[in-house]
Amino acid sequence: MGRHSCCHKQKLRKGLWSPEEDEKLLNHITKFGHGCWSSVPKLAGLQRCGKSCRLRWINYLRPDLKRGAFSPQEESLIIELHAVLGNRWSQIAAHLPGRTDNEIKNLWNSGIKKKLKKNGIDPNTHKPLSKVENSDQQKFHAISESNDVASVASTKPNLSQASSTSSSQSLRVIPSPELSFRRPGIADDGSFITCFQPTDMAGELCFQQLKCSTTMGLSASSDAALHHNWNWSSSDISPKQVHSALKPNKSSDNYYCNIDGDNSSQWSSIFNLQNDHIFENSPISWLLADCGRVDKETEIHPSVCDAEVAKWFEYLHHTPFVFNLSPSEASQMEQTDVTPSAGTCSVTGGSMISNCPHDQILQAPPGSDMYGKTLQAIAVSSGQNSSSSLEPVKHMFQDKKA
DNA sequence: AAGGTCCCCAACCGCGGTTCT
DNA sequence: GAGAACCGCGGTTGGGGACCT
């Protein structure tokens, strides 16, 4: 079948659009709408192909476009969405009103990518750029493939191993401030293998793996959802609880959680509340999604937070990170800010998770396009690429829908 | 001032998916 | 069901402005 590329048509202009062409296209679409794009150039009196007209309208002439530089909030949102969605620019753009996929793609390729690399993050995987020597890399991959900690983002986790002897294997890596950004994986039984957090052991940063069962976690009846009863388990570490959470800066949408365990390490994690959505920077967003509704106002207590996280926070948000707040400092911060209550965070119902892939699946009928694509997105983000490895994920969500 | 290089971003290109005939 | 046309997406290109030497 011969597919006609518009570029092969004769006598059609290419290249930059002139103001006159813009005006013709704008006038035509304003009056008649675009209808069938292939007929637009003829009706509008343009020597362009329909595809070119469509692109010009979408990327430049549309009245609802937001012009100008991206805000730090938009940039951080793009980074967070990219971690979940990858190069699905149109889906990312859907979360940024007034921005086009092309614009976001350009920003990513020309700006954000470099920033991430500069900060030691691989922009493709959102993992720390490893400077590990070859031998260490081989070890890394070997362990990954046998379901060690690194496997969460790159290979299919194996629950039996994770819950037995190897669940807290540590792996020496080049220290990096981004270690708190790990994504959860999904085990065969549908339980979550959570992110790895940096822990300081004898001066070395190590990865450690935790497991959170879907049957555990946040109680729907908890009256202080964000810092109550998030139980984590691994074979050699007793269940942990999030004992406090911190909103380091009132203009920020990010919160940090400290999870105390019996090995005296502090486990910091991060999640983000923005436009009523929680983004998958941490297993906590998955936990919240999994647990359904959280509808009580929640206190966030300032607490000590890890300097690595602070560094990352400052990079992402271009705002100073405040930590080690005393109660009086926290109180002062609360009084000087115009946004609601520094120490509280209002978390409301299902809308909170409406944009979480997990929740999209719960809302989408199995078999629908949304269902399949979202499953794939999750599988890919979890390093589960084969269709067979999707099965446990499917079952998990089907069970939850039921 | 001139030439070279870098980088941004608008636009192109090709592909896959969907709809129409 | 097959072929053609259309649509939308993501990767890539190249024009041109900014910056450097």
Nucleotide nearest to A104 (CA to C1'): B9
Predicted local distance difference test score (pLDDT) of residue A40? 85
Instruction: Write the DSSP symbol of residue A325.
Output: -
What is the per-residue pLDDT for A341? 20
Which residue from A184, A209, A187, A107 is spatially nearest to A357, judged by alpha carbons? A184
First-to-last CA distance in chain A? 45
Residues with CB under 7 A from strand C: A 1-4, 15-16, 36-39, 50-51, 54, 87-91, 101-102, 105-106, 109
Q: How far apart are CA A394 and CA A400, in angstroms?
A: 10
In angstroms, the CA A146 to CA A137 distance is 14
Angle at A331 between CA A328 and CA A334, to 5 degrees: 155
Report chain C positions within 7 A of protein CB atoms.
3-12, 15-16
Distance from CA(A39) to C1'(B7), angstroms, rounded:
36
User: Residue A155 corresponds to which tokens in the numbers above?
Assistant: 């290979």
Nearest in space to A112 (alpha carbons), one of A251, A252, A314, A315: A315
The CA-atom distances, in angstroms, between A384 and each of A129, A269, A377, A391 are 21, 23, 9, 10
Pair A103, A110: CB distance under 8 Å: no
For residue A106, say whether its CB is under 7 Å from any atom of strand B.
yes
Measured CA to CA, the distance from residue A103 to residue A59 in angstroms comes to 8
- Closest-lying nucleotide for A49 based on CA to C1': B12
Q: A385 near A156, Cβ under 8 Å?
A: no
Asked if A75 CB < 7 A from strand B, the reply is no
With beta carbons less than 8 A apart as the criterion, state whether A186 and A382 touch.
yes
Rounded to whole angstroms, the Cα distance separating A128 from A177 reads 8
Q: Please name which of A211, A183, A197 lies closest in space to residue A85, comparing C-alpha atoms.
A: A183
Residue A223: predicted pLDDT: 24
Q: The tokens of A89 are what?
A: 């620019």
- List, in order, residues 6 or more apart from A368 with CB less than 8 Å away: none
* Residue A244, H or E segment: strand A241-246
Kindly list the distances between the CA atom of residue A182 and the CA atoms of A152, A177, A198, in Å, as whole numbers in the listed order.
8, 12, 10
Confidence (pLDDT) at A275: 29
CA-to-C1' span, A170 to B7 (A): 42
At A319, give phi and psi (nearest 5°): -135, 145
Does nucleic acid strand B have an atom less than 7 angstroms from the CB of A5?
A: yes
- Contact at 8 Å (CB) between A294 and A350? no
Whether the beta carbon of A90 falls within 7 A of nucleic chain B: the reply is: no
Per-residue pLDDT at A188? 33
A196 CB-side CA count, 13 A: 28
Instruction: Verify if strand B has an atom below 7 Å from the CB of A376.
Output: no
pTM of the model: 0.46
Are A224 and A235 spatial neighbours (Cβ–Cβ below 8 Å)?
no
Strands A277-279 and A185-186: unpaired
Which chain A residues in 29-48 sit with Cβ < 7 A of strand B?
Answer: 48
Nearest nucleotide (C1') to alpha carbon of A18: B10
Query: How many Å apart are A17 CA and B9 C1'?
Result: 14
Return the pLDDT at A315: 43
Q: What is the pLDDT along chain A (402 residues), one digit of tens a residue?
A: 333 344 444 567 888 888 888 888 888 888 888 778 888 888 888 888 888 888 888 888 888 888 788 888 888 888 878 877 888 888 888 888 888 888 888 888 888 888 887 777 777 777 766 543 333 333 333 323 222 222 222 222 222 222 222 222 222 222 222 223 233 333 333 333 333 233 322 222 222 223 222 222 222 222 222 222 233 333 323 333 332 233 333 333 333 333 333 332 333 333 333 322 223 333 333 222 222 222 222 222 222 223 333 444 444 444 443 333 334 433 443 343 322 222 212 122 121 122 222 322 223 333 333 333 333 333 333 333 333 333 333 333 333 332
Is A51 within 7 A of strand B by CB distance? Answer: yes
User: Dihedrals φ, ψ of A83, to 5°?
Assistant: -60, -30
Task: Please answer whether residues A345 and A273 qualify as being in contact, where contact means their C-beta atoms are separated by less than 8 angstroms.
Answer: yes
Contact A295/A347 with Cβ under 8 angstroms?
A: yes
| CB A81, CB A126: distance < 8 Å | no
Give residue A15's pLDDT.
84
At A258, is the secondary structure helix, strand, or coil?
A: strand
Question: Which positions on strand B lie below 7 Å from a protein C-beta?
Answer: 7-16, 18
Q: What is the pLDDT of residue A202?
A: 25
